[in-house]
Structures are given as C-alpha cells and as structure tokens.
Amino acid sequence: MHNLKTLGDHADPESESTPVLDITTAEAMALLFKALSDPTRVRIIAALVEGERCVYDLAATLGMTHSAISHQLQLLRDLRVVRYRKVGRHVFYALDDAHIQGLFLQGLEHARHA
C-alpha cells in the first residue's frame, strides 16, 4: 500500500550513515504531534472540529481561564494548526487544514477502543 522506501534509502543496509528519517523531518513531525499531546489542546481542537470558536467560548466550554486558553492558542498558532479571524473584539479560531482534523479523528478512533 504505502511505499516505505521513501522513508530512507536502504540500498546499503550495512551503512549506519543513512538515517531512517532525517532529523529535520523528525523534528517537524514531533512539533505537529506536540499540538495534540496535551489534553487541553486536544479539547480545543475537538471544539474547533465542529467549527470556528472565539476564545471566550472555548474558555467557557472547557471550563478554563481565558488566559490559559489564550496561551495554548498562541502555541497552536505558532505550530500553524489554527488560524484566526478578528471580528470586533472577538477573535475566532479555526483549524488551519484538514490534516489536523484527520489526525484528530484517527487519534480519537484509537482512543475509543484501546
């Protein structure tokens, strides 16, 4: 199904010099998964899967302070997992792409029966 050859060329299995996955890509992947590695962020993303939410609503829904939510949103923003849109004094956040939702749903499915 998937062509794993793209993970790294193992033409010479004796050579230790060919890493399985280059470190830069591994770091990028780790950052992506870090977005989903905290319960608060998972819950924020769960809320955003249903649609745009402002900070106020997210804080109310999760029962957390606006500050805590805002800090986590900054992190998610830095990781390019969410985008935002200002409307008056509200800032509406949304998932940045379908990949995130796909990972979220796949993780949810795993967690449901594990």
Q: Which stretch binds DNA (CB under 7 A): 1-9, 20-28, 65-73, 105-113?
A: 65-73
Q: Of residues 25, 27, 56, 102, which one binds DNA by CB under 7 A?
A: 56
CA-wise closest residue to 46 among 89, 113, 80, 93: 93
- Distance between CA 100 and CA 46 in Å, rounded? 10
CB closer to its own copies out of 91 and 103:
103
40 near DNA (CB under 7 A): yes
- Distance between CA 112 and CA 66 in Å, rounded? 29
Residue 94's DSSP bridge partners are: 83
Q: Which residues bind DNA (CB under 7 A)?
A: 34, 37-40, 54-57, 59, 64-68, 70-75, 84, 86, 88-91
